[in-house]
Amino acid sequence: KAGVTQTPRYLIKTRGQQVTLSCSPISGHRSVSWYQQTPGQGLQFLFEYFSETQRNKGNFPGRFSGRQFSNSRSEMNVSTLELGDSALYLCASSFPKSGGLLARDTQYFGPGTRLTVL
């Protein structure tokens, strides 16, 4: 079974530009969560999408947005990039079709997209 895939793996942008990152979850998973990883702040939750609806949102400015498509693939967008947005952006999927209650909590992560803002 293929894992979570993220594209692109690396991106270089300049301040003020916008960027779109893509995440394809494990087949059958319906929930996609996004996280930002930086050396200073560590791993922080951005938002979660389930069945095309944003269910939870972290404490990030409105420049960070996302969406989910009917096939559960998700994209996140960052507008008006700032230097501090340089980070590893990780996507995780969960909610397999089969499995009991215990399986619901497990998130499986992709390799991440490394964004550098110059």
Partner 1 sequence: GDSVTQMEGPVTLSEEAFLTINCTYTATGYPSLFWYVQYPGEGLQLLLKATKADDKGSNKGFEATYRKETTSFHLEKGSVQVSDSAVYFCAQNPERGAQKLVFGQGTRLTINP
- The residues of the shown chain that bind partner 1, judged by CB under 8 A, are 4, 6, 31, 33, 35, 42-45, 48, 50, 55-56, 58, 90, 92, 94-95, 102, 104-112
Q: Would you say 3 or 61 has its CB closer to partner 1?
A: 3
Nearer to partner 1 among residue 15 and residue 51 (C-beta): 51
Q: How far is the CB of 10 from partner 1 (least distance, A)?
A: 11
Residue whose CB is less far from partner 1, 55 or 63: 55
Q: How many CA atoms lie within 13 A of 84 on its CB side?
A: 7
| In the complex, least distance from residue 76 CB atom to partner 1, rounded to whole angstroms | 15
The dihedral through the CA atoms of 81, 48, 55, 49 has a sign that is: positive
CA dihedral 85, 86, 87, 89 (to 10 degrees): 60
**Phi, psi (degrees; rounded to nearest 5) at 103:** -75, -15
